[in-house]
Structure 1
Amino acid sequence: MSGRADSETPPETAEAPAEAEQAAEDAEDTEDAEAEQAAEDAEDAGDPVGEARRARWAAAGTGGLLTVVGAAASVLRAMDAAPALVPAAYALGAAVCAGAAALGSRGRTRRALWLLVGGVMVMAFGDQVD
């Protein structure tokens, strides 16, 4: 390297003051956004009540949706020329999913998940019989 260590940067390579201020503001904005995101992540991770509430809503909502779908499929299959076992399987699967929705709304989300799986399996079995 040539030149003195305390010499100024040549004017053609020096940053303009406005550009330096803009870069500093952008860095501050990025740091603020990262801090807000970290605070939200910490809030979500440390909120077991919110997680339980979301799990209850998910179990109850999924159970209700599968109950409606199973009941509709049961009615539609009953109007077809399908064997009697097919609409009965859909109706039974819908009843199991309704029970899962009830359990899920009470906070028994693990049991509700297994009942949902069982209800869908019963419906699938009924569909395979046809």
Structure 2
Amino acid sequence: MSGRTDTDTEPAIAENAEDTEDTAGTGRAGDGEGGEDDGEFAGDARRARWAAAGTGALLALAGLAAALLRATGSAPAAVPAAYALGAAGCAFAGVLGARGRTRRALWLLVAGAMVMALGDQFD
């Protein structure tokens, strides 16, 4: 096999590799320069994690308190069970949110709140 190798592609490959290394941690495609957008994106992600974890913990505590209050009253057994199940879902959503799975945490928070609301309908 004789022929000339094409050496013009090496710089383009090296430039593309540098671009992917700069944007690999952000999860977004960009121009590879870093800069303000990366810091802003990291701040947004941090706020989203804190919001998901805080909301999950708050809803879990509220659901647990409601389950305890309903368990001591004359409500049917399904009511405190629904509150406890919803609170467990919200607590798990808080854990997921703290680990960065904020979309899944949001949907689990919605599902947990819906289970608690459904339990309230049994009363």
TM-score normalised over the length of structure 1 = 0.65
Counterpart position of 2:117: 124
Q: Which amino acid aligns with 1:125?
A: L
C-alpha distance in 2 between matches for 1:63 and 1:79: 24
- Correspondence list, 1:1-130, <5 A: 47-130=40-123
Identity %: 72
SS in 2 for 1:47: helix
- Where structure 2 has 5 or more consecutive residues not aligned to the other structure, the ranges are 1-35
Count the aligned residue pairs.
88
C-alpha distance in 2 between matches for 1:74 and 1:92: 9
TM-score normalised over the length of structure 2 = 0.69
* CA positional deviation for 1:45: 8.9
User: Which stretches of structure 1, 4 residues or more, deviate above 6 A after TM superposition?
Assistant: none
C-alpha distance in 2 between matches for 1:54 and 1:125: 30
C-alpha distance in 2 between matches for 1:119 and 1:62: 12
Q: Which amino acid aligns with 1:60?
A: A
SS in 1 for 2:76: coil
- Where structure 1 has 5 or more consecutive residues not aligned to the other structure, the ranges are 1-42
